[in-house]
Amino acid sequence: MTKIRILRAADASTFRNLRLEALRESPTSFASSYEDEARLTPGEFVRRLARTDESWVLGAFDPTNTIVGCVGWYRYRGRKISHKSHIWGMYVIPAERGKGIGRALVNEALTRARAQAGMTQIDLLVAAGNTAAASLYTSFGFERVAVYPRALCVVPTLNKRRPRASGDPECIGSPGFPPARE
Ligand SMILES: CC(C)(COP(=O)(O)OP(=O)(O)OC[C@H]1O[C@@H](n2cnc3c(N)ncnc32)[C@H](O)[C@@H]1OP(=O)(O)O)[C@@H](O)C(=O)NCCC(=O)NCCS
């Protein structure tokens, strides 16, 4: 059975490994890049796991206590936007997908987020074409409110594990605006 709990400073190294695996394995699913986060110090990952009522990362663990997934959450700061919060970094390792772990992580994140006083809005970003994630969130009632054109630009030469034939960056988003007229 999968156990879900908030990650602590002692989990920083485990979280770093999973997070870097996520960014390398699924580069088009995240705004952050493997190359940028691989440069972060171990202390930065400890800092990220400094749990408060306004920010935490959940980890999903298999029966052998191996981490198999994670999801992050934070509340926006500022009196006019602190009714809102954001889900980020949702990831389940490929070998454990399709077994309900992603659903369990989202469910736990939403339960905890909704328990915060004054929390009325939760948002997140999904890359166009990520049907697995989009369908997961839709099943919890999330609705698409906008499509950002050319939101991500994934340069394939930096993704050493999955090089693409084309030298063009992979841009994810809507088709975008027509070129400006001269
Ligand atoms: C998206 C992701 C987290 C789903 O995790 P998971 O553990 O496989 O998901 P679950 O098994 O809990 O499935 C929950 C729901 O997700 C959707 N889903 C999962 N995999 C799917 C797939 N391959 N195609 C379509 N829908 C899918 C379904 O709605 C499913 O519900 P159902 O089983 O009742 O049909 C996982 O595929 C992943 O880590 N992907 C790479 C990283 C990523 O895209 N992160 C999201 C960033 S926004």
Residue 182 has pLDDT above 50, yes or no: no
Q: Is the CB of 93 under 6 A from ligand 1?
A: no
Return the domain boundaries, the chain. Answer: 3-147
User: Looking at residue 69, what is its pLDDT?
Assistant: 98
Show Cβ contacts of residue 181 under 8 Å, excluding neighbours closer than 6 positions.
none
Q: Is the CB of 103 under 6 A from ligand 1?
A: yes
What band does 34 get if pLDDT is binned at 50, 70 and 90? very high
User: Looking at residue 53, what is its pLDDT?
Assistant: 86
What is the tens place of the pLDDT at every residue in 61-118? 999 999 999 999 999 999 999 999 999 999 999 999 999 999 999 999 999 999 999 9
Question: What residue type is 30 in one-letter code?
Answer: F
Residue 57 corresponds to which tokens in the numbers above? 């990362």
Q: Which is more confident, 24 or 180?
A: 24
Rounded to the nearest 10 degrees, what angle do helices 101-114 and 131-138 cross at?
Answer: 50
Q: Atom 21 of ligand 1 has which residue's CA nearest to it?
A: 132
pTM comes to 0.91
Q: Is the CB of 136 under 6 A from ligand 1?
A: yes
What band does 175 get if pLDDT is binned at 50, 70 and 90? low
CATH of 3-147, one of 3.40.630.30, 3.90.1150.10, 1.10.357.10, 3.40.50.2000: 3.40.630.30
Residue 3 corresponds to which tokens in the numbers above? 């156990």
Q: What is the mean pLDDT of residues 140-169?
A: 75
Ligand 1 pocket test, pick from 136, 139, 144 with the greatest ligand atom count within 8 Å of Cβ, gives 136
